[in-house]
Amino acid sequence: MAQNDEDLLHKCVFSNDIKSLKESVKSFAVEKKDKHGNTALHLAAMLGHSDCIDILLANNAQVKVKNLQGWTPLAEAFYRLDTTLVDFNDMKWERGDISFVFNGNIKGSKNFTILDNKLKVYQKFKHEETEDETQDDIDILMSSDIISAQIPTKNITFSRLQSGWFVKQGRTQLVGQFPADFYSVQGLTLEQKKRREHLSPEDLQKNKAILESLSKGNVIENHEIQRRPSLPTPKKANISWEDYIRDGNPPCLGRPIICKDTKKTFKATLAMSEEFPMTVEQVLDVLEIVAPLKQYKKLREFMDTKLPPGFPVKIEIPVFPTVTAKVTFQQFKWDDSLAEDLFIIPNEYREDPNRFPEL
């Protein structure tokens, strides 16, 4: 293979050469990145070459691969985003007696069921969205910031919380039925990049008002989603392939990027219990099967080297002055003698496809 053939797939997309692209995808990996970290799908989205996008997607090009700037082809295309809010009733979380049943022996969309044991109804989990739901997702994306976020783990540290008036000692208390040691988490920083070149002044004003309302603990009522046409193809930049592929910072191929970088530090509290029946190692073994390899390696390294001893039975993170996110494990047990009927929907339960409307 000639040296200049390494970027042939990207060059076909850059020049919108559909015929050559159809041939090239048979011989080249669609996930290969050029020197700027862009896949061919990145370029197609930046340039608005929709026919190239169709060909690459038909050949399993991934939409969530990040380039060197941290953006995915999905962000470049401004097409789709899933974003929902959990329901509140009278400013209180809706609680209930809910069971989740997963049957790995059943193929397709019927292997995961949610049961409401109070109402005696069940709902099958939907694996595919309807056309209307997909259109809603697209419209939400086109009126929202495109966000790339990460939480670097390098600077995260843990220190024991102290209790007592005169004689200070490490804070220990029950979380559910498990005694736990409490830690303060330092260095927990959320780094965000927000792109908004696709938003109108009205979008920016509305989004700011929503964020301010949420930060005060107010509930955002459901409102009708405004249908939006696709964005026009960006004006073709006067840039040659040679200009693009040369060393240095890549030129802007699509719309001029409007990007805002933010960092927010959180003061989290973590409770670790060495008497919890499950270990972090067991959780990591499960994640090794389902998580992407790169992300799994980073997670295991963090868990092995930095996490205090025990299992994280509780974590609290203040996300707004009046809103705190909490995750708590109050009860857990291993049981190898579960009855088979626990995994069967009782006869008196009826199916309600709208019990959990967000699923």
pLDDT band at 14 (very low <50, low <70, confident <90, very high): very high
pLDDT given at position 133:
61
Residue 115: is its pLDDT beyond 90? no
pLDDT band at 312 (very low <50, low <70, confident <90, very high): very high
Give 220-279 as a DSSP string. ----PPPP-PPPPPPPPPS--HHHHHSSSSPPP-SSPP-EEEEEEEEEEEEEEETT-SS-
d(CA 138, CA 32): 27
pLDDT band at 90 (very low <50, low <70, confident <90, very high): very low
Q: Sort 259 into a burial class: Cβ within 10 Å, 0-12 / 13-18 / 19+.
A: middle
Whole-Å CA distances, 306 to 136, 159, 190, 288, 298: 41, 11, 18, 19, 12
CATH code of the domain made up of 1-81+235-254: 1.25.40.20
Whole-Å CA distances, 222 to 84, 85, 86, 136, 210: 10, 9, 11, 13, 12
d(CA 21, CA 142): 29
Of the candidates 78, 74, 76, 215, the one whose C-alpha atom is nearest the C-alpha of residue 140 is: 78
The two tokens of residue 327 are: 């995750």
d(CA 142, CA 203): 9
pLDDT mean over 91-110: 61
The CB density around residue 117, as the number of other CB atoms within 10 Å, is: 13
d(CA 38, CA 73): 9
Q: What are the residue boundaries of the structural domains of the chain, listed by start? A: 1-81+235-254, 83-143+197-226, 146-196+258-338
d(CA 131, CA 212): 32
pLDDT band at 78 (very low <50, low <70, confident <90, very high): very low
pLDDT mean over 203-215: 73
CA-based torsion, 57, 130, 90, 210: positive or negative: positive
**pTM of model > 0.85:** no
Lowest mean pLDDT segment, chosen from 42-46, 141-145, 290-294, 302-306: 290-294
Whole-Å CA distances, 81 to 64, 147, 257: 12, 10, 19
Residue 110: is its pLDDT beyond 90? no
Q: Are 277 and 330 in contact (CB under 8 A)?
A: no
Residue 334: is its pLDDT beyond 70? yes
pLDDT mean over 336-341: 76
d(CA 250, CA 35): 9
- 12 versus 4: the higher-pLDDT residue is 12
Q: What is the end-to-end Cα distance of the chain in Å, rounded?
A: 49
Of the candidates 225, 218, 293, the one whose C-alpha atom is nearest the C-alpha of residue 81 is: 225
d(CA 289, CA 302): 18
3-state class (DSSP) for residue 62: coil
The two tokens of residue 146 are: 């495109």
Mean pLDDT for the chain overall: 78
Of the candidates 48, 57, 73, 46, the one whose C-alpha atom is nearest the C-alpha of residue 21 is: 57
The two tokens of residue 9 are: 């797939």
